[in-house]
Structure 1
Amino acid sequence: MGTSTGTAAIHRPLDLDPKRAGRLDRAHYGIIDIGSNSVRLVVYDQLGRAPLPRFNEKSLCRLGEGLAQTGLISVEGFRRTVEAVRRFRAVADAMGVARLDATATEAVRRAENGKDLVEAIRTEAGIDVRILSGAEEARFAALGVISGFHRPVGIVGDMGGGSLELAAALDDQVGEDWVSFPLGALPVEALMQGPDDAKRRIDALLKEKTPTSFLKQPIFFAVGGGWRTFAKAHMATHAAPVPVVHGYRIPASEARAFAKTLLRLPLAKIAELPGISRRRARTMPAAALVLDRVLKYLAPDEVVFSALGLREGWLYSQLDAEERYLDPLVEGAQLIGLPGSRVPDFPPALVAWTEGLFTDESPAEKRLRVTLCALSDLGWRDHPDIRAEESHRRVLQFPFIGLDHPERAFLAIALHARHAGRLDAPYLAGALKLLSPAERRRAEILGRALLVAYRLSGGTPAVLANSRLSIGSNRLRLEVGRSARVPDSEAVSERLSLLAAAAGVKFSEITELAEDV
């Protein structure tokens, strides 16, 4: 595999901008995804870098069922798809969706009556459907991963109802190589019920068509509903600290072992597993078998599960270059955090105020600090007794993108500390397991520093700007300019003591300067 070129010189802003976060001029955007197993409508709050779903519904039309035998979409699947799209069009119109796109994949592409279905949808629902090629499916799935992670590099596998696509994510680019296999849930399900050895057939296809550049890459990004359900079941049975599929990372050997476990279970037992819905239980053996064989052949070190795929890749491709290079985590955090803050200009002031808190801050650590500042007033409406716990739980489960589970844990622990939460609270145990001692310390220091900032300034940028914080080897000093008129109050001193304890220094003091800072 090659590497993307020129990315180091591209400006990737990490600023907070209340005007950008408070944009209300962007209309809702919707996309209808006509897959081989299901038809889904997702309506996003806007067409932007960190879109939040406002509505998400699917209809299991199973267009690909029987397609290999007849070459046709069944009468029932045809009818149900047209009806589903008509309903989705009505919902989108009622929600005020300004733009509604529709795409179709493997089943419609292969079926002899696929174009008839597209024409029926145009007539009945007034929607033009774009039938994607295998190359486009692979590209948009990879773009979905690129849009949902921070500069990802690895092989993207998108297993849908009708096909499996592989492509490479190379930071901000999709690699030139791609491949599409007829290894979706429905054809593999049929293959497993036939007389031939399904495992051998899958292995032969992978060996015949997979580009050699895809082999032995460290990370495999797993996309698609079947593999998301696989991840949910694995998280539930292994008591994962963060109950979110996106960014869930496990060794490839562990994923293969769990796949083999699922393949040994009867369907009734699979349906009883936590995390697996009854509708998904039927296709779980196919999803498990394909994942096992793909991981065996590609031989990655780790599997990272992605909640974003073709739909989000399509959305990402509609953005201009400037917006694509905005950080998805920072953008999502400020879209949520700044409009709901008591003073939307205060989180950006916090970014500047905490700039020198850590002398060894890496770019990855900076983006977490900026994100935390954006979310720092998230819990102000909660009762003081529950702010720390509720803020922690929100961050652990909120549909942010652009981060993995340890980064979620860092933000959750830091936000808990920002609300004066105790680090020995039992409900923190899971998140703390994901962090090293150094990361725990950094999260606590950052959270306690924000606690001091809010108490010192009352959430006003002008007061905060007239103060500065310094952490020495044995002393923590808060310097305040005269015009800020902040005395050495007990409330500020108590919170400064919490910060000193987190930083591991013995003494803390507040100094009022003769002049402004």
Structure 2
Amino acid sequence: MNDQGDAHRGDWGPFGRPLFNDPESRALSRVGVVDIGSNSVRLVVFDGAARSPAYFYNEKIMCALGEGLSETGRLSPKGRERALKALKRFATLAEGMNITPLTAVATAAVREAEDGPEFREEVLRETGIEMHVITGEEEARLSAQGVLLGWPGSYGMVCDIGGSSMELADIAEGKVGRRLTSALGPLKLKEVKGGEKGLDAYIKSTIEQIHEQMDGETGMRLFLVGGSWRAIARCDMTRRDYPLTVLHEYRMTTEAVAETRKYIEQEDPSDLRGRAGISSDRMALVPLAIRVLDQLVQVFQPKDITISSYGIREGMLYEQMPPALRDRDPLIEACRFAEAKDARMPGFGPILFDFVRPLFPHADWQRKRIIKAACLLHDVSWRAHPDYRPQVCFDNATRANLGGLKHSERVFLGLALMHRYSNKREGVRYEQMFTLVSDEDQREAEVLGRAMRLGAMMWLGAETVPGNLAWNAVDRTLTLDLDPRAKSLFGEVAEQRFKSLVAALDATGEVRIRD
């Protein structure tokens, strides 16, 4: 890999091979990535849609390689032992999955420790895994590229916190700009002298220096990458009794960070850890990480704060993506992949999208892509028991590994797919999540679901349009203009579904058969 992020000059970086030979490819060849951080060692195996890779396998071991590094200059002996055991396990798993060789990157602890080279040689000798040690700036760039994998075209600042360091990078127009690294990782902060006052002074002065290096930038969107940030987000969700516990795209405000710092400092750590679902090793770092985040948002004053589950590992995949692949919408690509793999009639989703689109004449591009995603996913849960299909559809949409979706959009998508199979949404166990979308959006999701339910009755083939819907919002009339070949498909059940859609629109309806 080079400074421009161009992996196509005869050098395929740590992977040692091209992952995306064909820019038109839809599927990713299964690949395993090991992230050897200062605090944890993780194996992720990616599979699925090329533009929106899914986690085929994901395992993390908290090793704390960087603990005590500032004092000894060496990796933690206990952490090193645990990391080696974890890597041996990962190498064995990779052989079973037929994904060797694994691609491994190491960050701050290994690059700073005097015994880092020795550890690399030991890992290679004992496991066959070649460890690529990256610089702090490279770490910042890869983390930023991971964010771009989930949010193409995003702008703002990416902040990735590890055990021994914290990296920042600017992103704009699909590119990574300025980037820097600092020693603000929680394991390093444990070793700061001077007690509470000394720690706060050190954090404040370091962040002010970072702010100056970033040209005093304020008011940007802040993307947070790293396990400690995600743990803080879980604490924030617990404090707020937030109904959707998906971390990716979770939003916080500067005020919320301050409130959550107070909350963490006041709560019993063991009790909070249990309620928030955080490991004891990770929870031990949260009180330090929240001090950093609180000071960071006070100085940079971001307009909003977003949690990203994508980071270095995803950034390595993005590194190799050709421009044509990077330009695709990760949400739509993931839904296309799901339709091709699981739908009974792959290819009908785009036809269904054209069928329902007249019902939403004022939808902006963001809403249109959610409508399209729903149409692509409308039939992927057909294997579920009929009594549970609405619930399965809602769960899949709201909890699936999908990029490019706000939480409110997840719930809208889930509601639409739920109404694909059910006319009611009251009294269900996930009703609390509906509060994340407005009443108007709940009604629009119901209209979309009922329209998809009708359109699904009109299968003439994956490439054949069954008819057209014409919606007059002024007169509140809905007309179904059917292709003659679809006349026999419009039986009693289809008629009832058309009436159900008309009722959801509070309209009158008419069915016409073309000559």
The aligned length equals: 489
User: What does residue range 101-500 of structure 1 map to in structure 2 within 5 Å?
Assistant: 101-175=103-177, 177-191=178-192, 194=195, 197-210=198-211, 211-213=213-215, 215-427=217-429, 429-457=431-459, 460-461=461-462, 465-472=465-472, 473-486=475-488, 488-500=490-502
Counterparts of 2:230 and 2:458, CA distance in 1: 45
1:388 counterpart SS class: helix
Residue type of the partner of 2:471? I
1:27 matched to 2:29? The reply is yes
Cα displacement string for residues 266-290 of structure 1 (whole angstroms, at most 9, x for unaligned residues): 5444434423222322111112111
Q: Secondary structure at the match of 1:339?
A: helix
Distance 1:20 1:48, change over 3 A: closer
In the alignment, structure 1 segments of 5+ residues that lack a partner are 1-18
Amino acid at match of 2:432: G
The one-letter code sitting in structure 2 at the alignment partner of 1:336 is: A
TM norm structure 1:
0.89
Secondary structure at the counterpart of residue 484 of structure 1: helix
User: Is the partner of 1:423 in helix, strand or coil?
Assistant: coil
Distance 2:181 2:25 in 1: 39
Deviations 1:380-431 (A, max 9, x none): 1222222112211221111111111011011011111111331334445333
CA distance in 2, matches of 1:201, 1:499: 61
Deviating more after overlay: 100-109 vs 493-502: 493-502
Partner SS state of residue 413, structure 1: helix
Point out the more displaced range, 260-269 or 150-159: 260-269
Asked if the contact 2:142/2:315 (under 8 Å) is kept, the reply is yes
CA distance in 2, matches of 1:236, 1:289: 18
Distance 2:196 2:292 in 1: 18
SS of 2:138 mapped into structure 1: helix
Q: Quick one: structure 1 residues 80 and 170, their matched pair in 2 at CA, closer, same or farther if it must change by over 3 Å?
A: same
Letter matched to residue 394 of structure 2? H
Q: 2:44 & 2:395 partners in 1: Cα distance?
A: 25
Question: 2:39 aligns to what SS in structure 1?
Answer: coil
* Equivalence for 1:50: 52
Residue type at the aligned position of 1:159: I
Is the Cα contact below 8 Å between 1:186 and 1:283 reproduced in 2? yes
**Counterpart in the other structure of 2:66:** 64
Using a 3 Å threshold, how does the CA distance of structure 1 residues 301 and 233 change in structure 2: closer, same or farther?
same
**Residue 68 of structure 1, CA deviation:** 0.1
Contact 1:47–1:315 (Cα < 8 Å) also in 2:
no
SS of 1:308's equivalent in the other structure is: coil
Out of 76, 80, 86, the residue aligned to residue 84 of structure 1 is: 86
SS in structure 1 of the partner of residue 363 of structure 2: coil
**Matched residues in 2 for 1:513 and 1:195: separation?**
78
Task: Report the residue type matching 1:61 in the other structure.
Answer: C
Is this contact kept in 2: 1:255–1:303, CA < 8 A?
no
Give SS of 2:243's match: coil
Is the contact made by 2:235 and 2:260 (CA closer than 8 Å) also made in structure 1? no
Cα distance change of structure 1 residues 425 and 510 upon mapping to structure 2, 3 Å threshold: farther
Query: Offset at 1:376?
Result: 0.4
Task: Answer whether contact 2:168 2:180 (CA < 8 A) is retained.
Answer: yes
1:202–1:293: 8 Å Cα contact kept in structure 2? yes
Regions of 4+ moved over 4 Å: 192-196
For 1:82 and 1:487, how far apart are their aligned partners in 2?
Answer: 62
- Secondary structure at the counterpart of residue 161 of structure 1: coil
Structure 1 CA distance for aligned equivalents of residues 65 and 450 of structure 2: 54
Q: Is the 8 A contact 1:167 1:178 kept in 2?
A: yes
1:214 Cα offset (Å): 5.8
* Aligned ranges 1:92-107 → 2 under 5 Å: 92-97=94-99, 100-107=102-109
Q: Distance in 1 between matches of 2:363 and 2:101?
A: 42
8 A Cα contact 1:256 1:295, kept in partner: no
Contact 2:153 2:173 in 1 (8 A): yes
2:63 counterpart SS class: coil
Structure 1, 47-56 or 353-362: larger mean CA deviation: 353-362
Q: What are structure 2's unaligned runs of at least 5 residues?
A: 1-23
Deviations 1:167-223 (A, max 9, x none): 112141112x22211111211233388475211110001112333446322421111
User: Secondary structure of the equivalent of 1:45?
Assistant: strand
Normalising by structure 2, what TM-score?
0.89
Question: What amino acid is the match of 1:499?
Answer: L
Alpha-carbon spacing, 1:415–1:33, altered in 2? closer, same or farther (3 Å): same
- Measure the CA separation in 1 of the matches of 2:90 and 2:380: 33
Write the distance in 1 (CA, Å) between the matches of 2:365 and 2:124: 48
Larger displacement relative to structure 2 (485-494 or 240-249): 485-494
Cα distance in 2 for residues equivalent to 1:338 and 1:140: 30
Q: Rate the CA distance shift 1:120–1:418 in 2: closer, same or farther, 3 A.
A: same
For 1:150 and 1:158, locate their aligned partners in 2 and report how far apart those are by CA, in whole Å: 18
Label 1:248 to 1:214 Cα distance change in 2 as closer, same or farther (>3 A): farther
Name the aligned partner's letter for residue 29 of structure 2: A
Kept in 1: contact 2:344–2:380 (CA 8 A): no
Taking only aligned residues, the RMSD between alpha carbons, in angstroms, comes to: 2.2
Query: Is the counterpart of residue 36 in structure 1 residue 38 in structure 2?
Result: yes
Matched position secondary structure for 2:255: helix
Closer/same/farther in 2, CA of residues 167 and 324 from structure 1, 3 Å limit: same
The corresponding residue for 2:19 is none
Deviations 1:297-329 (A, max 9, x none): 111132111111111111211211111111111
Q: 1:150 deviation in Å?
A: 4.7
| Equivalent AA in structure 2 for residue 356 of structure 1 | P
In structure 2, what is the Cα distance between the partners aligned to 1:223 and 1:163? 12
Amino acid at match of 1:319: M
Counterpart amino acid of residue 449 in structure 1: A
SS, match of residue 346 in structure 2: coil
Question: Does structure 2 conserve the Cα–Cα contact (< 8 Å) formed by 1:255 and 1:292?
Answer: yes
